[in-house]
Amino acid sequence: MAIATTNVRKHLTDIKEWQKLGEANIFPPDSRLELIEGEILEMAPIGYNHSGHVMRLMNFFAPLLNQKAIINAQHPLQLDDLSEPEPDFMLLKPNDDFYCSRHPNADDVLLLIEVADSSLSFDQNQKLHLYASHNIPEYWLMNLNDACLEVYRQPHGDCYGEKTTLRVGDTVTLSQLEQIAIDIADIL
């Protein structure tokens, strides 16, 4: 008896189809979806600890910026025709219309932070490679599981040339906004 084989095909989508699906309200309103390299991925629900750390970042950075950057939390970042993640936190270059006429892109990013607990492996691998390949200059991974901040700089290809792991007691200076030094205890 011959066994029939079926070719399994993955349907990849692009940014135009992704936006049309969103406009058509295809997805449930409470779904957390991101377009990553042509795949629509369902992200884990945001827990209390994760949410609290994102709010802490927003409240910490707001008084320090003095209009040198725009704070963006959990909103789209259009990287190319196949990827539109929603990073937990970004500092963006100032823009007169606050990005009302378009989503920010990689050239607009000064700092990108992902807060990770259940998504740690995904953020350390797929997201890291995605951000590096689009030349995000500085990617911070707030690793809640290990109580540390992983700082990635110097994107080259799909990797970062520099990785530093910081803990409470350490400080870090933003490479794009060098006048801002941060005690890790203030954000972790």
Q: Which amino acid is at 38?
A: G
pLDDT tens for the chain, residues 1 to 188: 555 555 655 667 888 888 888 788 887 777 788 888 888 888 888 889 999 999 999 999 999 998 899 999 999 999 998 899 999 999 999 999 999 999 999 999 999 999 999 889 999 999 999 999 999 999 999 999 999 999 999 999 999 999 999 999 999 998 888 778 899 999 99
What residue ranges define each of the domains in the chain, with the CATH number in brackets? 47-187 (3.90.1570.10)
Q: What is the spatial distance between Cα 140 and Cα 120, in angstroms, rounded to a whole number? A: 12
The model's pTM is 0.88
pLDDT in tens, 80-118: 988 999 999 999 999 999 999 999 999 999 999 999 998
Return the sign of the alpha-carbon dihedral for residues 58, 179, 104, 148: negative
Handedness of CA 174, 112, 89, 104 (dihedral sign): positive
Within 13 Å and on the Cβ side, how many CA atoms surround 155? 22
Residue burial 143-178, b: 16+ Cβ < 10 Å; e: rest: bbeeebbbbbbebeeeebeeeeebeeebebebeebe
Tell me how far apart the alpha carbons of residues 23 and 27 are, in angstroms, rounded to a whole number: 10
